[in-house]
């Protein structure tokens, strides 16, 4: 047996480990080959003799040898025994130490699993979080029943690949909803279900834009819009927003030949103003003339507390230049990861191809449940309830802020939306500093000034009011905020 | 009243329509303004007189007027009455007729909702469909229970935005599974949950590749790989596959400076061969030297019927050049739209940024249920069961084909996978023609020759055997196939 080789340590199999003994044998040989302790052409002990040496059943070693042979590490040569496969390249040199890395980060380097492999668990949203619906008011039990029903009823068609453009019943339900509630008339085949606004915009970028294309964005702007456009290599052209929405004339002066404009006409994000009809028509006229596209991000068009919701810009789109981006994150809940995009008929085929290429679609069951929720009327009832609830919660937060800050706060209240802007004009600190203090106290206020080019929209704190559950909680939050802002 | 204007047809409100009367009034005015029948500055009838003219309650008309004013169509002028807003631009010219379009396609153009707005419903997969697991053998009831449990227990953290990189418990469960079953050692933070293989590859393209970068692909190849790379503007370099997998030496000659290679080492798609250890090490050596990346598409590495599954190429990745792409489409079911990508530690931060930018993540509940299924041991039990089942189903289809075709069929059986390749060497017709005949008969066979560059891999029909439920069904399918191929 002198001519045969075994990895160092092979004799010390660990009988307490959960790993089967044959797996341990396998692992030791493999490691030895990879480290270069055993080299191509080396003859290894016969299964019988190694088994006897280790005091294990011969079958145990044979199983390991068979796997090593199957994977190409060993080459069995009949009577001549078994050798480390000569076809293997010589082992790599030992890899350089990389001492700059935290030791715990790379489990493979240490040779063992790290002590803790846990990631931080997800947390509930902090108070005053922007842009999420009232999670406490969502009809969870009803939703859970719909989910359970769909899960039980799933058949082969529901388990097979879905249409990457979206589950047909959901596309139909969205088209029907848009017609009634948002004034948008489209065929279900123009509706593309996506994983949400970012995914919709990524699809638009892939399908309609080239690198370096210029895109009008609102100034101030919803940060994800900038994120996606910049990451895709497009050039954003910030166009100021005034009381009537995007100042289209400024866009024309800055870049009349831009390829696209992205707007939030219902309630500008973050200022909350509604784009006037005159501006909407100017924007549409520009797009039609310039052969440019408009993306309407109608993220919370349903939430309007004075009068009925405004119809979407898309409803005025006589020349088919508008892509309408909707999301269920703010009207159902964000963890659903479900949104949609309505494209002009002329773009339908291109988007269908793109959806097919880039995505495997969204889970069928999520889409089926959303379709049930829309079709059975739960959705419109839920929205009606939320409009009343949010109006109340907004009023509670306003009252509490006024009580806590008195004249020191000035509150921008627009006709809709999910947040308010509190301006503290008398303070020397910037809104960035104030927001940092609030966040330190666990209140997720965001500074307005960071949403736009410097100086464009003044300063203030953006606060979501949708999850302010009671007057008492509003008071408590306002008091806490006051203390946080006053802290040094 | 002579000076005031009303839209034509305003007198004929439709009391049978479900649309409320005030909405109808609103719509008629809006349409008239958009068509130019009413022009900016025109005075409209008072709400009282129009209500009396129409025989409806005054409040009905007032509600419509209020909405029209709110949206900027009307401008109320107190005592002077109400006018069409002078700020509106003059109406657009009527749009050109586009008679080339099917009339039913654009509901807006026709002014009414189309007769049918339905899309084709989704269908169950046809017999012999490639690349899907046995849908009849999936533990649906167990899954439905897990889904129902998660849906009932959903709290605020589950409804809030998830981590776009993936649900932490699922990332942990995937890392644990990969260590035990695929020999891949990684920290959960290196695992990114995606909507499936295409989404994983899109993320890789966005993060690591530039337009025109060259990528080695296998020849023949899995079509989605080509789709995504071409759509992203990368140049594919087809590298032939022989009995040992991708011929790395050929890749070196064709494009040694390529940026990436995409391979299916466990069972090459579609040929089914396993990449030998020697080739794996050659590929790794090239990547390390060329600073190139390797994407390992381990779509069905678990399905091996002779011996235990091979460890992943990633398990040999001493220089951190391999990105491991896994999918639940073939080990759970495709409608789940869930996959993942394991990236080297050095790329973790870049992929985290990219995941955050491009996606709103996958639905939390889907991820939570998948995590439960993995952690509670259902997954490994299911895989064990499927390995036995697929070996049986494969044997049944082979036997049935041999009975139906005798010597006229030659079947390529590899050690794993979810399909076989049936070669009909004696026939004059191409495999493309044969596949077309089979498909006409409802059997979803695919021609092998179309998967690669012309002549690279011979001809044959690819047939999925995973959903062949019984020997009797196998016989029936084989007989049907025989008749279809013999048909003219």
Per-residue pLDDT tens over the stretch A365-377: 999 999 999 988 8
Amino acid B146: pLDDT: 97
Dihedral angle at the C-alpha atoms of A102, A108, A113, A114, nearest 10 degrees? 0
Best probe of the B interface among A93, A104, A108, A213, by most B CBs < 10 A, is A108
| Residue A422 backbone dihedrals phi, psi, to 5 degrees | -105, 125
Spatial contact of B245 and B251, defined as CB atoms under 8 Å apart = no
Domains delineated in chain A: 16-84 (1.10.10.10), 140-377 (3.40.640.10), 381-486 (3.90.1150.10)
**Would residue B299 be called left, alpha or beta, if left means φ above 0 and alpha means ψ between -120 and 50 degrees?**
alpha
Pairwise pLDDT comparison (A14 vs B443), residue with the higher score: B443
Best probe of the B interface among A363, A373, A375, by most B CBs < 10 A, is A363
Closest C-alpha to B246, from B287, B208, B285, B282: B282
Inform me whether the pLDDT recorded for A123 exceeds 90. Answer: no
**Cα–Cα dist B99/B79, whole Å:** 47
Give the least confident one: A53-67, A445-459, B163-177, B203-217: A53-67
For the stretch A232-260, pLDDT in tens is: 999 999 999 999 999 999 999 999 999 99
Inform me whether the pLDDT recorded for A215 exceeds 70. Answer: yes
**Cα–Cα dist A92/B235, whole Å:** 30
Least Cα separation, residue A148 to chain B (angstroms): 5
Cβ–Cβ gap B211/A206 under 8 Å: no
Cβ–Cβ gap A176/B117 under 8 Å: yes
pLDDT, chain A, mean: 88
Chain A hits for B152, Cβ within 8 Å: 141, 144, 148
Spatial contact of B84 and B74, defined as CB atoms under 8 Å apart = yes
Least Cα separation, residue A479 to chain B (angstroms): 24
Cβ–Cβ gap A335/B143 under 8 Å: no
**Cα–Cα dist B120/A370, whole Å:** 18
Inform me whether the pLDDT recorded for A17 exceeds 70. Answer: no
CB atoms closer than 10 angstroms to residue A117 = 17
**Would you write out chain B's pLDDT as a tens digit for each of its 488 residues?**
346 777 755 656 767 666 778 878 887 787 777 666 677 888 888 888 888 777 788 888 888 888 777 667 788 888 888 888 877 665 443 333 333 333 333 333 333 333 345 788 888 899 999 999 999 999 999 999 999 999 999 999 999 999 999 999 999 999 988 988 888 889 999 999 999 999 999 999 999 999 999 999 999 999 999 999 999 999 999 999 999 999 999 999 999 999 999 999 999 999 999 999 999 999 999 999 999 999 999 998 889 888 777 889 999 999 999 999 999 999 999 999 999 999 999 999 999 999 999 988 999 999 999 999 998 889 989 999 999 999 999 999 999 999 999 999 999 888 889 999 999 999 999 999 999 999 999 999 999 999 999 999 999 999 999 999 999 999 999 999 999 999 87
Spatial contact of B444 and B427, defined as CB atoms under 8 Å apart = no
User: Residues A6-16: what's their mean pLDDT?
Assistant: 65
Pairing status of strand A410-412 against strand A419-423:
antiparallel
Amino acid B111: pLDDT: 34
Amino acid A111: pLDDT: 34
Burial class (CB in 10 A: 0-12, 13-18, 19+), A133: buried
Cβ–Cβ gap A308/B338 under 8 Å: no
Cβ–Cβ gap A107/B202 under 8 Å: no
Least Cα separation, residue A365 to chain B (angstroms): 8
Closest C-alpha to A342, from A205, A199, A178, A227: A178
Best probe of the B interface among A160, A210, A234, A313, by most B CBs < 10 A, is A160
Note the Cα A336 to chain centre separation in Å: 10
User: What are the C-alpha distances in Å from B173 to residues B244, B323, B352, B368?
Assistant: 32, 18, 18, 10
Which residue of chain A has the CA closest to B33? A316
Amino acid A377: pLDDT: 87
The pLDDT confidence band at residue A85, using thresholds 50, 70 and 90, is: confident
**Cα–Cα dist B225/B219, whole Å:** 11
**Cα–Cα dist B53/B50, whole Å:** 5
Quote ipTM for the complex: 0.80
Cβ–Cβ gap A334/B161 under 8 Å: yes
User: Residues A308-328: what's their mean pLDDT?
Assistant: 92
Amino acid A203: pLDDT: 97
Amino acid A180: pLDDT: 80
User: Residues A135-156: what's their mean pLDDT?
Assistant: 96
**B381-414: buried (b, 16+ CB within 10 Å) or exposed (e) per residue?**
ebbeebbebbbebbbbbbebbbebbeebbebbeb
Token pair for residue B295?
Answer: 């994407």
Amino acid B296: pLDDT: 98
Helix (H/G/I), strand (E/B), else coil: B196: coil
> A270 preceded by cis ω (within 30°)?
yes
Least Cα separation, residue B113 to chain A (angstroms): 8
Cβ–Cβ gap A357/B227 under 8 Å: yes
Of A188, A316, A335, Cβ closest to residue B162: A335
Amino acid B142: pLDDT: 97
Cβ–Cβ gap A160/B124 under 8 Å: yes
Which segments of A233-338 are extended strands (E)?
235-242, 245-246, 260-263, 293-297, 322-327
**Would residue A282 be called left, alpha or beta, if left means φ above 0 and alpha means ψ between -120 and 50 degrees?**
alpha
Token pair for residue B115?
Answer: 């007769």
The pLDDT confidence band at residue A117, using thresholds 50, 70 and 90, is: low
Chain B hits for A185, Cβ within 8 Å: 107-108, 113
Cβ–Cβ gap A360/B105 under 8 Å: no
Chain B hits for A159, Cβ within 8 Å: 135, 138, 333-336
Pairwise pLDDT comparison (A101 vs B458), residue with the higher score: B458
Closest C-alpha to A82, from A71, A69, A70, A93: A69
Amino acid A231: pLDDT: 96
The pLDDT confidence band at residue A330, using thresholds 50, 70 and 90, is: very high
Pairwise pLDDT comparison (B459 vs A64), residue with the higher score: B459
Pairwise pLDDT comparison (B480 vs A15), residue with the higher score: B480
Pairwise pLDDT comparison (A75 vs A320), residue with the higher score: A320
Which segments of A178-280 are extended strands (E)?
191-194, 214-219, 235-242, 245-246, 260-263
Cβ–Cβ gap B108/A363 under 8 Å: no
**Cα–Cα dist B169/B187, whole Å:** 12
Amino acid B256: pLDDT: 98
Inform me whether the pLDDT recorded for A439 exceeds 90. Answer: yes
Which residues are within 8 A (CB) of B28 and not within 5 positions of it... i.e. 6 or more apart? B7, B9, B10
Which residue of chain B has the CA closest to A132? B160
H helix or E strand, kind and range, residue A411: strand A410-412
Best probe of the B interface among A312, A358, A414, by most B CBs < 10 A, is A358
Amino acid B25: pLDDT: 82
Least Cα separation, residue B158 to chain A (angstroms): 6
Least Cα separation, residue B429 to chain A (angstroms): 31
The pLDDT confidence band at residue A113, using thresholds 50, 70 and 90, is: very low
Cβ–Cβ gap B122/A67 under 8 Å: no
Pairwise pLDDT comparison (A318 vs B25), residue with the higher score: A318
Least Cα separation, residue A158 to chain B (angstroms): 6
Which residue of chain B has the CA closest to A204? B358
User: What are the C-alpha distances in Å from A164 to residues A235, A251, B108, B204?
Assistant: 29, 35, 25, 20
Cβ–Cβ gap B120/A189 under 8 Å: no
């Amino acid at each position: 047996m002198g001519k045969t080789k075994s990895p160092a340590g092979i004799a010390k199999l660990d009988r307490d480990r959960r790993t089967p003994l044959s797996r341990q044998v396998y692992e030791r040989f493999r490691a030895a080959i990879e480290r270069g302790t055993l080299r191509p052409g080396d003859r290894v002990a016969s299964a019988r003799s190694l088994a006897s040496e280790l005091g294990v059943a011969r079958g145990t070693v044979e199983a390991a040898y068979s796997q090593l042979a199957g994977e190409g590490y060993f080459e069995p040569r009949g009577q001549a025994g078994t050798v480390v496969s000569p076809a293997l390249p010589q082992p790599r040199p030992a890899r350089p130490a990389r001492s700059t890395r935290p030791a715990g980060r790379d489990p493979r380097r240490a040779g063992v699993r790290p002590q803790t492999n846990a990631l931080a668990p997800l947390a509930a949203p902090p108070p005053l979080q922007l842009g999420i619906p009232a999670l406490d008011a969502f009809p969870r039990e009803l939703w859970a029943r719909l989910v359970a029903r769909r899960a039980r009823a799933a058949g082969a068609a529901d388990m097979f690949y879905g249409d990457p453009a979206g589950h047909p019943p959901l596309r139909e339900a969205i088209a029907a909803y848009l017609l009634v509630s948002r004034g948008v008339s489209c065929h279900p085949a123009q509706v593309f279900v996506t994983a949400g606004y970012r995914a919709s915009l990524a699809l638009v970028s892939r399908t309609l834009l080239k690198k370096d294309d210029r895109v009008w964005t609102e100034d101030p702007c919803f940060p994800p819009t900038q994120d996606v456009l910049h990451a895709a290599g497009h050039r954003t052209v910030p166009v100021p927003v005034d009381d009537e929405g995007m100042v289209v004339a400024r866009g024309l002066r800055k870049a009349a030949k831009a390829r696209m404009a992205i707007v939030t006409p219902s309630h500008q994000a973050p200022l909350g103003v509604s784009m006037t009809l005159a501006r909407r028509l100017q924007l549409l006229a520009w797009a039609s003339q310039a052969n440019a596209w408009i993306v309407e991000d109608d993220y919370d068009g349903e939430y309007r507390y004075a009068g009925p919701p405004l119809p979407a810009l898309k409803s005025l789109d006589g020349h088919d230049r508008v892509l309408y981006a909707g999301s269920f994150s703010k009207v159902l809940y964000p963890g659903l990861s479900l949104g949609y995009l309505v494209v002009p008929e002329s773009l339908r085929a291109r988007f269908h191809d793109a959806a097919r290429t880039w995505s495997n679609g969204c889970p069928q069951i999520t889409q089926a449940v959303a379709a049930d929720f829309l079709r059975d009327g739960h959705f419109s009832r839920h929205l009606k309830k939320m409009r009343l609830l949010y109006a109340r919660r907004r009023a509670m937060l306003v009252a509490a802020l006024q009580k806590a800050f008195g004249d020191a706060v000035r509150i921008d209240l627009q006709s809709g939306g999910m947040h308010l802007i509190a301006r503290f004009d008398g303070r020397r600190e910037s809104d960035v500093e104030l927001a940092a203090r609030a966040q330190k106290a666990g209140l997720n206020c965001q500074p307005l000034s960071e949403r736009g080019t410097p100086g464009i929209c003044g300063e203030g704190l953006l606060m979501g009011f949708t999850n302010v559950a009671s007057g008492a909680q509003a008071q408590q939050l306002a008091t806490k905020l006051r203390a946080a802002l006053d802290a040094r």
